[in-house]
Homo-oligomer: A and B are copies of this chain.
Amino acid sequence: MQKQATINDVARIAGVSKRTVSRVINGSLSVGDTTRTRVEKVISELKYSPNTQARGLASSRSYLLGLIYDNPDALYLDDVQRGVLEVCSNLGYELVVHPCRYRSETLLQDCLRFMQRSKLDGVIVLPPVSESETLAQALKESGSAYVRLSSVALDEAKHIVVSDDRAAAAEMARYFAQLGHEHIAFISGPQRYKSSTERMEGFQLGLSAYGIKLQPDWIIEGNNTYETGIECARQLLQAEEKPTAIFANNDQMAAGVLKVAHSLGIKVPEQLSVAGFDDNMLASRVIPALTTIKRPVRQMALLATSKLIMSIENNDKAASNVAAKVAPTLVVRESTARVAGSSD
C-alpha cells in the first residue's frame, strides 16, 4: 500500500510551486514551455494523479455524472448505460447510477440529495422520471447541469434528447394498414406516462389516415411488463371476436402476446400479426422474431452525455447545437404478415 504522490511532491521535485503544477494539470495557458515540460516529466515519473476529492473541494467539480432512473427494463438500461459510459470514459468522467421511485413523495429530495451528496457535475434522467417537471425545475433552480431523455420535447434543446415515438408508432400503423389489417388491437403502456400516450396517439393517428379506428375495447392498458402483456393478450385472444393484429407498447408485452397466441394455438403471423416497440435483444430472440420499432437508445445516450458534458464545461451554446432529436425506425421481422385472405 504505497503512498500516493501529492501535488507537493511534484512541485518539490520539479522545483516549482504547487500552483504551477496545478496550472499544468489543468492545462492553463500561462505556463512556460520549459516549465511545463519539466513538470509533466515529473508527473509521469511519479505517476502522479490528482486527488479528485481535494480538487472537487476546491473547485466544486467532481468529474462524476449521475444516471437517474426508475425501474427500467434491464435491456433498455443496459443500452443507455453503455452509451453513457462510452462518452464518459473518453472524456474522463465516471458514472454513478441511482435508481429512484418516480411516484415517491420524496423523489425531489432524493435526487437533489443524491446530487449534492456526491457533488455530481451533472445528471442524465431517464423516462419516466424525466417526465417530472417539478424535478426538472428543481434541477434548473439548483443550477445543476442535467439532460433528460424523453419521447416528447419537454425542455430547451440543451437539456433534452427526444425520440419521436409518435411518428414511429404512426409508421407502424401505416405498415399494418398496408398489410390489409383492419381489426387491430393496441396494448398500451401506463397512460400516466407521456411515452405511452405518444405512441398510442401516433398509432391512432396513423391508422386514421387509412380510415381505420381502434375500437375502445381493443385498447388495453398494460404496464409494460411481460406479465401484463400476457394478461392483456388473453383478454384479446380469448374473446369471441379477435383482432388480426396486435401492436404492443413494447417488446416485453409483445413477447407476452406471442406466448399466449402459442398456448391458444393461434399461429403468428399466419392468423395474427404481432408487433412491439424498442427492438431490444428480446425482439430478435423470440420465435417468430418480432417486427418492432427500433429505438436508437444508444445514440440517445451518446447525444445526451455529450450535451451534458458540454453544458458542464460551460459551453451551453455548443450543448444546444448537438442534435436533440432521433427517429426510431420500423424493423420488419417474422411476426407480421398480410392479413389472412387478403390480396394486395
Residues on A lying within 8 angstroms of B by beta carbon are 1, 4, 49, 51-54, 56-57, 62, 64, 74-75, 77-79, 81-82, 85, 89, 94-99, 113-114, 116-119, 141-143, 226, 255, 258-259, 262, 281-282, 284-287
Contact = CB atoms under 8 A, between A and B. Distances in A.
Number of identical monomers bound together in the oligomeric complex = 2
B285 A285 contact: yes
Given A57-B57, A97-B95, A97-B97, A281 B74 contact: yes
B119 A99 contact: no
A97 B82 CA distance: 10
B285 A255 contact: yes
Interface of A is mostly: helix
Contact of A53 (B4, B49, B53, B142): B53
A273 B114 CA distance: 49
A119 B287 contact: no
Question: Which of A74, A85, A226, A259: most chain B CB closer than 10 A?
Answer: A74
Contacts of A64: 96, 118
Contact of A119 (B53, B116, B258, B286): B53
Given A53-B62, A259-B285, 7 more contacts: A74-B78, A94-B96, A94-B118, A95-B96, A97-B97, A255-B285, A285-B285
